[in-house]
Amino acid sequence: MKYFICTLFFFFSLTGIVAGSTRDFNRAVLDFNAGRFTAAKTGAQQLGTAEGYALACKSGLVIGGFQEKGVAAVQSLHGAIEDCRKALDIEPENYSAGISHAIATGFEGLRLKKIAYARASKKSIETLIDRYPENALAAGALAGWHAAVSRQGIFARMILDTGRNKARTLFSQAIKLRGVELPLYFEYIRFLASGNSREKSEAKRLLTEVLSMSPRNALEKLLLEKCLQIQSALDSGDKKSLKKALAVATPFTGIDVWGTVRKTDIKGFPLRQNRGAP
């Protein structure tokens, strides 16, 4: 199946200073939180550790997802996948690397329009949920997976057995778990804002709550700015404005239609079974 694929939402938990970590790793964390994503990626890669490569993967996804387009964005995506795999080779149970790898695999599947990548992403997320059933990030990732598939048309929904109702149920369950952070609310808002009038009203209510939050790092500041754009579009009632706001809020937007930036120009990053990683 090469004509459709699901994409995953962009989902990151807050990166914090880790007790017992090296000074260089904590410096990379500070760079990430300050919005110096390239510096964070480079510094984290140089550590050669699982936590370093996991942070480099997250940084690469932010760079490619929101700061680049075309070939550069695809190259950042591939670099992120490679960094996550290096982290998982060192530490197969690394949670951050596992969830980031699943997300990146979904974006690569969207680019290549191959259903195998969608299934690999979902399998990885479900494995993480089995290990950490009370973790809001993994639960939200699965909700986002179903939401993304539901946007791909009826055929995709039938083959992958999903739809908006399932995504909505999973989002509702995820936000009730402990440790819910702004990125999960952001993805739920994007989902609701693209729905019917009742869902749009719920998005407005949730936006009021979320926009009262103070950003804890540069990524959260970026997400809040995009929330403001969605709120403005919803308040205007203009469908074109809302469509544009949602597109701007979507990472790697257009990765499936970037002209000739396809597998013929940049080969697909191959799937592999590696200690639980797709």
Residue 31 backbone phi and psi in degrees, to 5: -60, -45
Residue 178, in any domain of the structure: no
3-state secondary structure of 211: coil
Position with higher pLDDT, 153 vs 38: 38
Report residue 159's pLDDT band, with 50, 70 and 90 as the boundaries. Answer: low
Residue 264, in any domain of the structure: no
Instruction: Using a pLDDT cut of 70, give the percent of the chain over it.
Output: 81
Check residue 68 and give its pLDDT: 92
pLDDT tens profile 160-204: 567 788 889 999 999 999 888 899 999 999 999 999 999 999 999
Check residue 220 and give its pLDDT: 93
Q: Does residue 278 have a pLDDT over 50?
A: no
CA distances from 74 to 25, 124, 126, 191, 196 (A): 26, 21, 26, 25, 33
Q: How many CA atoms lie within 13 A of 215 on its CB side?
A: 16
Residue 189, in any domain of the structure: no
Which ranges of 154-254 does DSSP label H, i.e. alpha helix? 154-160, 164-174, 182-193, 197-210, 218-236, 239-248
CATH of the domain at 117: 1.25.40.10
Residue 43, in any domain of the structure: yes
Residue 3, in any domain of the structure: yes
Residue 76, in any domain of the structure: yes
Paired tokens of 106:
């979904």
Total of domains in the chain: 1
User: What domain range is 39 assigned to?
Assistant: 1-133
Model pTM score: 0.85
Position with higher pLDDT, 49 vs 109: 49
Residue 177, in any domain of the structure: no
Residue 84, in any domain of the structure: yes
